[in-house]
Structure formats: C-alpha cells, structure tokens
Structure 1
C-alpha cells in the first residue's frame, strides 16, 4: 500500500510511453499479494515492501529473484492535537498503540524498531489493533481512534499530514522494496520494461518526489 501514489504516477508515464498498454495495479499489503501469487493469480510484476515477502514468492517457484529499487524510513505518528514527542511515551498507561500486523512488512519493521529502541515490551503491552496494511495504521491515528502508530515516512501524505504529529525514529531498521518479473508473465517484455522504468531517471525522480530513498 505504501507504493500506491508513486506507482499511480509511474503507471501513467509508462502507459504514455507504451500506447495501447493498460497497466492494472493491485494495491494491497505485500503479504496479501504474495499469497495471491502463491494461489496462481495472473501477475506480470510483483513489488514487495520487504525481502521476506519476495523470498516467499521465490519459494513458490514463480519468481527467480528480486531487485531492490527503493528504501524508506520509519516514523512515529500521533494525532496533531495530542502529540507523542518520542517512543519513550509508548509504554504510558492507557496509551492506544496501533501497528500493522506482525506478518505485514510495516508491522515487522515497526516491531524491529521498537526492539532496537528498547521500548518493545512496554509499547506492545499497549497494542490495541493489528492492521492489515500500513494505511490502516495511518487511518486510525489520523481519525483519533488511536494515540500512536509506527508507519513509513512516505505514508504521511498531503491528505493526512495536517492531522498528524510526526517524529522520525532514530533506528538502523531500513525498510526496503524489491521488485521482480514473474517467470510465467504473459507479457515478459513489457514486465521487464516496467521494472526498468523504476530504475530509469524518470522512475527514480518519481520515487524521490514521493519521499522514497535510493535502495
């Protein structure tokens, strides 16, 4: 889900450069997409928000290898009117913490970050919801249904930034994104072109505009 806006932009540019081609993008948590690939869904290109979900696709036999094309940062978010100033507050009694589920890349990264910061045990004691994807975390915090969450920096979009207080997390955990062409893609040449677009100047510029970092 974290790639939604930037892939929409890249999709438009790709279609303009390939007249007659209609790129159909399925946006969901990487764990859901990997599951769909395992079940045989017709797919040309798979983009995952972590290495684990790409390994899952590789283990299923439909993907040979993933290519890292971008990275991200983790931030702590809280409602603008009730700001959390740092991760040390996440263990405060009564605080409502929301994370993506542990099987979701954003949720796995968040738990690693809390562990690195030394606040995992206290923070997870306040966990009230495991969301299916990172946008679910943003939605609950921005609506005031939770007091704090950990998300990707790129998910603090213009649509929600005024509703949130954002604190970058000083951790070594670095979310990374991988992409691959499926072995059984019915359009392998176009699929390879799309992957190449992510590495081309226009693709890199689009990723940067949306806050993504180089791989």
Structure 2
C-alpha cells in the first residue's frame, strides 16, 4: 500500500466526539458496492460512534455508482468491488489515489434439490436445463468476474465461454433490475423465487443469501475456474473534512476485522 495512505491519518486524528460534525452539519457521503452493505454499514456505525461524524451511505452496483459520480452526484468516499471503477475516476482527475482494501471470490448459490458439487459445477452450468444467473457486466463487477470465469472455462472445455455467455441470465446489478422486497437478500430472493437454479456471486453474498433463504447450497468454484475480486477505495476531490478519516477507518485494523467477519479476504 502506498505511503501516506488515509490509514496513516488514523494515528493522528483524535477529534472530540461530534465536534466538527456539529460545526458543519454535513455527513460523509459513502458510495459503496452492494456487496459491502452489511460490512461497511457496521464500519460506518463504528466510525460515527467513535467520532460523532454521521455517514450517509449509498449502496449499489459499483459501475452504476461510478456513473452517478461522473454525472455530478456528490460523494466523498467511493468503495468499489473492483479497482477499475475508482481507477477510472482517478484517471479523470476525480481522486488522487486508489487503495485496495478487501478481497472476495466467486462461488455458486444453488437452489434446493439441485445436486451440484465443486467438481461438477461446470457440467451443471453447461446443462441446458439449468438456469444460470449472474449480475450485469459493466454495471456490476460481479458480472464482470463471472465473464472472466466463463473465459477460464473455455480453457477446460472449448466453446464453454460462448455457451455460458449466451445462456447466463443478468438478473441483478443493472439500474433497471427488479428490486427485492425490503429486508430480503437479492440473491436469496432470486433463487427462492424460482427465477434461477444457480447464481454466480461473491462468497460474502452467498452467506447472506443462505441466511435469508434456508435450504440454499453454497458451492465453491474449483481452482481451475476461480476468479478473485479486489476492492478499491478512493477519497474524491472536494470531499468533506472527515472523508479521509472514514477511509482510514475502513483501512484500519478494526475496519479490516469487521470486513473479515463478513467473509472478505485479507489483503
């Protein structure tokens, strides 16, 4: 990680609780990937409890959030499910640096009654009778990672990538994707509602989906198909006074512990 990262500021900041937040009345606006909702929701709550600085969080597909920022919406901190979207903002002069802060990995969520294991995952995905769902490429990095997995499958079985790209249902991640009812996990809702038989998504999402919809199976992607995800963090130019402090909290030991507790990998 580069020197003088936001995390370096953590040892220097000891603000009186609520002091500057009261003076400005402005919360730190966090735009973050939907897969981070539970984890960064807890980090933001811990940050506010420690500093008195409120956080207003907007969670959604990273590509959609990036376009909102590019379109002029005000955001202070951007936490993306890949490095590419914040890097594009850096290249456009919207931020100075992008810091990796978490890792994830794809797995498969499988509906009850469909017998699939890791060794047979590719066969199941290629079965014409099995409805395979992914998130929307371009709008959501999860969909981009799924496309990379399909490309890896082609090395094992020529033609697999084209077949999987053609059959994959883009059921989440787009601006017009159907939204689940309040309180429901989108992946559990999709599988539980019989909209797909198998959903490729992050292992962190799979844990939450399984808690939402009992009976779902989580199947690890075999090493030959495995695709990892690296998450990127940026403080945007023109951000509020405490934006770098929130970024420091996410990068801190406590922030990393919270992320790990939700299944995110260590950097």
TM-score (norm 1): 0.90
Q: Deviations over 1:151-198 (max 9, x none)?
A: 0000021533623111111245210111011111132xx111111112
Cα distance in 2 for partners of 1:161, 1:70 equals 26
Q: Which runs of no fewer than 5 residues in structure 1 stay unpaired?
A: none
1:47 to 79, 91, 97: 79
SS of structure 2 residue aligned to 1:213: coil
1:38-117 matches, within 5 Å, as 38-85=70-117, 86-103=121-138, 104-117=140-153
**Partner of 1:178 in structure 2?**
232
Cα distance in 2 for partners of 1:57, 1:164 equals 37
Structure 1 residue 35 and structure 2 residue 67: aligned? yes
Instruction: Report if aligned partners of 1:95, 1:126 keep a CA contact under 8 Å in 2.
Output: no
1:125 to 163, 166, 171: 166
Task: Compute the displacement of 1:94 (Å).
Answer: 2.7
Task: Provide the alpha-carbon RMSD of the alignment.
Answer: 1.9
Instruction: Report if aligned partners of 1:63, 1:183 keep a CA contact under 8 Å in 2.
Output: yes
**Partner of 2:216 in structure 1?**
164
Cα distance in 2 for partners of 1:128, 1:198 equals 33
Q: Deviations over 1:56-90 (max 9, x none)?
A: 22233211221000100110111122243312211
Instruction: Report if aligned partners of 2:187, 2:205 keep a CA contact under 8 Å in 1.
Output: no
> Which aligned runs of 4 or more in structure 1 are off by greater than 6 angstroms?
none
TM-score (norm 2): 0.74
Instruction: Report if aligned partners of 1:98, 1:137 keep a CA contact under 8 Å in 2.
Output: no
Instruction: Report if aligned partners of 1:77, 1:84 keep a CA contact under 8 Å in 2.
Output: no
Q: Which runs of no fewer than 5 residues in structure 2 stay unpaired?
A: 1-33, 155-159, 178-184
